[in-house]
Copies of this chain bind each other. A is one copy, B any other.
Amino acid sequence: MWTMQVSARGDYAVRAAVSLASTHPTTVSAQSLADGEGLPHKFLEAVLADLRRGGVVTSVRGADGGYRLARDPGEISVGAVLRAVDGPLAGVRGQRPEEVTYDGASAHLPDLWIAVRAAVRNVLDEVTLAQVATGRLPARVRRLVGSEGAWEPR
């Protein structure tokens, strides 16, 4: 149904991370994070575990424990969050764009896939959690948001 899609996992992870950014450096429990963003609690726990393993978040166990960002919200990109829970940003048929090879007429196709990945990276790796939390996105990204037809379905 979709050519490229951000999964529920990815969406939840970013929302949780942005939420943590907005209260940084307070420690917040998975439960209140789930309540605040309207996410399924147990599923979010699994997502937060990935974020911890990926070094995005640190956790505190025991009563009054919870999660907080491992670094400053201005130092963590949305791309880093997504990679922590869903792996590499962009792929083709289960492979990295630079790994696919074709011969014949489609020999130049990898260039296109590389370009798509670069375009995605230029957005997701350049936007920080702090920027999303405050709504102050970089000029390059704002330009994309405001560009002709950006809000139109196709």
A120's partner among B100, B116, B127 (CB-CB below 8 A) is: B116
* Cα–Cα, bound, A98→B154 (Å): 12
* Cα–Cα, bound, A89→B2 (Å): 6
Given the known inter-chain contacts A21-B105, A102-B15, A106-B18, please indicate yes or no for A145 contacting B111, CB distance below 8 A: yes
* Cα–Cα, bound, A127→B144 (Å): 18
Digitize A4-19: 1 where CB-to-B-CB distance is under 8 Å, 0 elsewhere.
Answer: 1111101100110011
Interface size on A, residues (CB 8 A): 71
Given the known inter-chain contacts A6-B93, A90-B2, A119-B122, please indicate yes or no for A132 contacting B150, CB distance below 8 A: no
Which residues on A are within 8 Å of B, measured CB to CB? 1-8, 10-11, 14-15, 18-19, 21-23, 36-37, 78-79, 82-83, 86-94, 96, 98, 100, 102, 104-109, 111-125, 127, 132-135, 137, 141, 144-145, 147, 150-151, 153-154
